């Protein structure tokens, strides 16, 4: 029972599964693997490092992929968008900022405009900006986000934006999550943490191992890792990461960390470079508790779809 809906039609994909454009983790190999498996791979444009985007786009080969940007950072270097649009991406995803300055150019290029939102008000703004797809991101998601849980946010966004396909993000790592999201009105899912723990992801092997080993409640949402990297995010965004020794040391002492950031940041960067994740953060969401292996991206997509289809076929959704 293949799942066909407005999302698959809009994006021209076989399966309603999107790769979250994780900064420096969702590289060309991973984006291509997800797209070739029938989903949509989104390159992690992140803060906007032009050389990295160029290199990783080449690594994706001829795969049909898209790209995602942190919107407030893209606004500082909008020429990056021109370079991506010249490559005729399937879609461009904007997160964490006003999409309006970029919406017209994206849509005029033929790419689909995907807007990730964390509140109902943001969803309404995305709809007004002409979003082709809205991603409702719950607080369970890894990386940056806000405080509203997906179970509360998703139905509100679906109800408020009936003409636009909505994708669920945050805490989803398997087919049961896709089926549950569809019961709440979503037409697909965007997964980050599950694809971080994939063979093609650019993440450090130890980071992937820690995601697989993580249990329930082993993440924390805070500004500690941003302060440690000396990256200033606009309020009210915070970042969800796996708990580690560095996070436990500074949680509740953020003002002190900010005052010492000039000294903490070099040691933090060195720890990240050598793969010391007792200090450096593993950016991951609550779905880490559901992940039991590091698998090829194509296998992840196939598993998600087979499980979702089985759940949706079963009487009353039970298997």
How does pLDDT run across 150-167, given as a tens digit for each residue? 999 999 999 999 999 999
Exposed, middle or buried: residue 141 (CB in 10 Å: 0-12, 13-18, 19+)? Answer: buried
Number of helical H runs and strand E runs in the chain: 15, 11
Per the prediction, the chain carries an average pLDDT of 96
| Interatomic CA distance for residues 158 and 185, integer angstroms | 6
Write down the domain spans for the chain.
Answer: 6-202+291-317, 205-274
pLDDT in tens, 271-287: 999 999 999 999 999 99
- The answer to whether 91 and 114 have CB atoms below 8 angstroms apart is yes
- Which tokens in the block code for residue 47? 């803060």
pLDDT score recorded for residue 316: 64
pLDDT band at 313 (very low <50, low <70, confident <90, very high): confident
Q: What's the pLDDT band for 1 if we cut at 50, 70, 90? A: low
In whole angstroms, give the CA distance from residue 165 to residue 167: 7
Report the pLDDT averaged over residues 9-26. Answer: 97
Q: What is the CATH number of domain 6-202+291-317?
A: 3.20.20.70
Cα(181)–Cα(168) distance, integer angstroms = 6
Using CA atoms, how far apart are residues 314 and 312, in angstroms rounded to an integer?
Answer: 6
Say if residue 236 is preceded by a cis peptide, omega within 30 of 0: yes
Q: What is the pLDDT of residue 314?
A: 84
**pLDDT at residue 317 is higher than 80:** no
Write the pLDDT tens digit of every residue in 228-274: 999 999 999 999 999 999 999 999 999 999 999 999 999 999 999 99
Would you say 132 and 119 are in contact if contact means Cβ atoms under 8 Å apart?
Answer: no
Give percent of the chain with pLDDT exceeding 70. 98
Alpha-carbon distance of 302 to 13, in angstroms, equals 14
Q: Which helix (H) or strand (E) holds 93?
A: strand 91-95
């Amino acid at each position: 029972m293949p799942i066909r809906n407005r999302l698959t039609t809009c994006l021209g994909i076989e399966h309603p599964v999107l790769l979250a454009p994780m900064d420096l983790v969702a590289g060309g190999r991973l984006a291509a693997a997800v797209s070739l498996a029938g989903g949509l791979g989104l390159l992690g444009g992140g803060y906007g490092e032009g050389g990295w985007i160029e290199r990783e786009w080449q690594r994706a080969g001829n795969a049909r992929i898209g790209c995602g940007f942190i919107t407030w950072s893209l606004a500082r270097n909008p020429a990056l968008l021109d370079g991506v649009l010249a490559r005729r991406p399937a879609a461009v995803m904007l997160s964490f900022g006003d999409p309006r300055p970029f919406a017209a150019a994206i849509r005029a290029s033929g790419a689909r405009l995907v807007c990730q939102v964390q509140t109902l008000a943001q969803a309404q703004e995305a709809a007004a900006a002409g979003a082709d797809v809205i991603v409702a991101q719950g607080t369970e998601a890894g990386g940056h986000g806000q405080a509203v849980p997906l179970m509360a946010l998703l139905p509100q966004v679906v109800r408020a934006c009936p003409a636009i396909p909505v994708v669920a993000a945050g805490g989803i790592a398997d087919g049961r999550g896709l089926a549950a999201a569809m019961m709440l009105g979503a037409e697909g899912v965007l997964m980050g943490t599950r694809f971080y723990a994939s063979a093609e992801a650019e993440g450090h092997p130890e980071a992937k191992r820690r995601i697989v080993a993580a249990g329930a409640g082993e993440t924390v949402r805070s500004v500690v890792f941003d302060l440690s990297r000396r990256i200033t995010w606009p309020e009210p965004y915070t970042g969800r990461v796996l708990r580690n020794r560095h996070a436990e040391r500074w949680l509740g002492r953020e003002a002190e960390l900010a005052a010492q950031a000039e000294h903490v940041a070099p040691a933090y960067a060195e720890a990240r470079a050598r793969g010391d994740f007792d200090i450096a953060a593993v950016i991951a969401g609550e779905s880490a508790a559901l992940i039991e292996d590091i698998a090829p991206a194509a296998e992840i997509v196939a598993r998600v779809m087979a499980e979702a289809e089985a759940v949706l076929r079963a009487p009353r959704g039970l298997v």
